[in-house]
Structure 1
Amino acid sequence: MSPRKSAAEARLTRQRIIERSVAIASVEGLEGLTIGRLAGDLEMSKAGVLGHFGTKEALQLAALDGAADLFGQLVWQPAADAPPGLARLRAVCAGWADYLVRERGAFPGGCLFTTAAVEFDARPGALHDAVARLYAHWRARLVADLRTAVELGELPRDADPEQLAFELLGAYFALNHTLQLHADPTAVERTRRAVDRLLTG
């Protein structure tokens, strides 16, 4: 086997491990990831799984990064070409709701980041810091478009972008919980109405 082919196969195997890790973690949390479980699911040896990451924490961080990439593909990228301000915010919010609906299958157990935030919010360390950075980054993106919307006159001049971003995040946390706990068919429409109120001032 050539070194180039070997490296390509290693990348594919690593990606398979990450994809399966994301699916498991969305249901069972990042702590639910075990080398033995992954090895069994993927028909690999434990050493083969661990060899791609070195430690369980490195595997957990890789799963979190993989989930963040998927979130970006489903939520941020489709909205990237929309004009800054309300148009882009509405596109992001629509994509965010779509990605949380179970039928999409992106995260079988709901939003992995909500699960990870609950798991690690009171547990200092690399995973806590990684989750916090992701939320801070996404919040900053929302705030930037909300500020633009205020500057363009799309929202009232006295609107507080930080407060609106806080409330938007809350709406989507509520949507995730309502879908997962109650499978409420009205949850997406209720979230849409909440977002409409927030984005009309």
Structure 2
Amino acid sequence: MEQHDGRRARGDASRRLVLDRAVDLASVEGLDGLSIGRLAEAAEVSKSGVATLFGSKERLQLAAVDAAAERFTRVVIEPARVEPRGVRRIVALVDRWIAYSRDRVFPGGCFFAAAAAEFDAKPGPVRDALSRALDSWSGYLAASYGYAVAQGELEGDPAQFAFEATALLDAANTRSVMSGSSEPYVYARRALVARLAAAGAEPAVLERLAEVDDRVLA
């Protein structure tokens, strides 16, 4: 029994390591280009070993989406949850998202922005998985905004805010990856601070978002 558990633990560890390499690779070269052969080459493991872990290219891509979602949750959502529900959590969420893209948690920038551009017109399980991940993020932003409205901290439509915030963040990510500059994050911060201030957020609450200079931190 102990021998069996040891083999399973080693297999799980190997799968995690290969998946970490898979999501990093896909963020740069594209999720559609992620294949068992390419991953085996990049991770310096055998093709048969990768095939044993995932079985097919589609299953590998789906596993990569799940692994990317777990990494995103770990670095963006979980740290923001230390803040109370409402405007403070919204500020923490968008601040963490900017840091996630700026610091290249995925080497190619936001994994989901890149993958969505690849699969938005390609029906199938991979697009469905990406759509769920994107909906989860925008839904969480909207729910957080809804709490702020209910608590009298903000005014406005939560879904509209989530759409606008996501558009600004995605644009900042794309422009930064393309240009190699952190200037787009500065513009995104200014726009988000202005948007939240117009909706009624207290200036002191917005300091965390407003006073960061991404050009220095990059």
Instruction: Among all aligned residue pairs of Structure 1 and Structure 2, give the percentage whose two residues are the same amino acid.
Output: 41
Distance in structure 2 (CA, Å) of the matches to 1:173 and 1:10? 36
Q: Which moved more, 1:84-93 or 1:31-40?
A: 31-40
1:2 paired to 2:3: yes
Distance in structure 1 (CA, Å) of the matches to 2:109 and 2:138? 20
1:149 positional shift = 1.1
Specify the alignment match of 1:186 in structure 2. 183
Q: Which moved more, 1:106-115 or 1:185-194?
A: 185-194
Q: Give the paired residue count.
A: 197
Contact 1:26 1:107 (C-alpha < 8 Å) held by counterparts: yes
Specify the alignment match of 2:205 in structure 1. none
1:152 paired to 2:148: no
Distance in structure 2 (CA, Å) of the matches to 1:39 and 1:75? 29
Unpaired runs of 5+ residues, structure 2, are 200-218
Specify the alignment match of 2:213 in structure 1. none
Q: Which moved more, 1:57-66 or 1:189-198?
A: 189-198
Specify the alignment match of 2:60 in structure 1. 59
- Secondary structure at the aligned position of 2:12 is classed as helix
TM-score, length of structure 1 as denominator length: 0.94
Amino acid at match of 2:132: R
Specify the alignment match of 2:85 in structure 1. 84
Specify the alignment match of 2:212 in structure 1. none
Matches within 5 A, 1:34-183: 34-101=35-102, 104-156=103-155, 159-183=156-180
Contact 1:24 1:32 (C-alpha < 8 Å) held by counterparts: no
Residue by residue over 1:165-192, the C-alpha shift from the partner in whole angstroms, topping out at 9 and shown as x without a partner, is 1000001111111111112332221111
- Secondary structure at the aligned position of 2:32 is classed as helix
Distance in structure 1 (CA, Å) of the matches to 2:58 and 2:182? 36
Distance 1:105 1:164, change over 3 A: closer
Unpaired runs of 5+ residues, structure 1, are none
Specify the alignment match of 2:14 in structure 1. 13
Amino acid at match of 1:188: Y
Distance in structure 1 (CA, Å) of the matches to 2:164 and 2:104? 26
Residue by residue over 1:59-101, the C-alpha shift from the partner in whole angstroms, topping out at 9 and shown as x without a partner, is 0011111111110011000011211110000001110000001
